[in-house]
């Protein structure tokens, strides 16, 4: 497995992963971010970082993607949001943990982020476990945070990983 920066040709694989998440009814707040991956990749700013984890053997397959979006306002540039998506067939194998570790290492050590925020639907237990095991703390619950494609609203845990809190 290797982790590398995203390239435009990765968009199709990311969209496919995202569609699988929707089919399983594993609603994720990241779903909205990765739905139009081609546009997302083309609109990444100099502050944003998007990584993919892929297999090294041919044919290479993208297993997961993470988006670290740094707040562009100069006085808020110490904060970022994190979104992660893992292909269904690779879930539960440590892929998300490896990608999360790399993204947080980038945020903490290179970008000097003081705070990385995430929103996790309250019914997504696996994502909650992943984020908690990566040092994120639940700071609150947002009611009716996001509308799903079926039209109902979901609550979300508001979480943060703070560099000084290690």
Tokens of 136: 């994120």
How far apart CA 74 and CA 84 sit, in angstroms, is: 25
DSSP secondary structure of 23-76 = HTT---HHHHHHTTHHHHHHT--TT-EEEEEE-SSSSP-EEEEEEEEE--SGGG
> What would the mean pLDDT of 144-160 be, rounded to a whole number?
84
pLDDT band at 129 (very low <50, low <70, confident <90, very high): very high
Q: Are 80 and 68 in contact (CB under 8 A)?
A: yes
Q: Which residue in this structure is represented by tokens 């996790």?
A: 120
Model confidence over 19-60: pLDDT tens digits?
766 555 444 544 456 777 888 888 888 889 999 999 888 888
Whole-angstrom distance, CA of residue 31 vs CA of residue 22: 8
Q: Are 9 and 38 in contact (CB under 8 A)?
A: no
Average pLDDT over residues 142-156: 82
């Amino acid at each position: 497995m290797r982790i590398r920066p995203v390239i435009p040709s990765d968009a199709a694989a990311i969209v496919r992963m995202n569609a699988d998440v929707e089919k399983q009814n594993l609603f994720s707040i990241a779903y909205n971010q990765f739905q139009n991956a081609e546009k997302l990749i083309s609109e990444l700013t100099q502050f944003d970082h998007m990584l993919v984890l892929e297999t090294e053997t041919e044919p290479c397959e993208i297993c997961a993607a993470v988006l670290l979006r740094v707040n562009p306002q100069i006085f808020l540039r110490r904060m970022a949001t994190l979104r992660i998506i893992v292909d269904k067939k690779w879930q539960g194998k440590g892929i998300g943990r490896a990608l999360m570790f790399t993204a947080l290492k980038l945020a903490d050590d290179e970008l000097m982020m003081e705070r990385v925020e995430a929103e996790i639907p309250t019914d997504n237990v696996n994502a909650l476990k992943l984020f908690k095991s990566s040092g994120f703390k639940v700071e609150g619950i947002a009611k009716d945070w996001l509308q799903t494609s079926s039209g109902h609203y979901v609550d979300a845990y508001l979480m943060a990983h703070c560099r000084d809190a290690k």
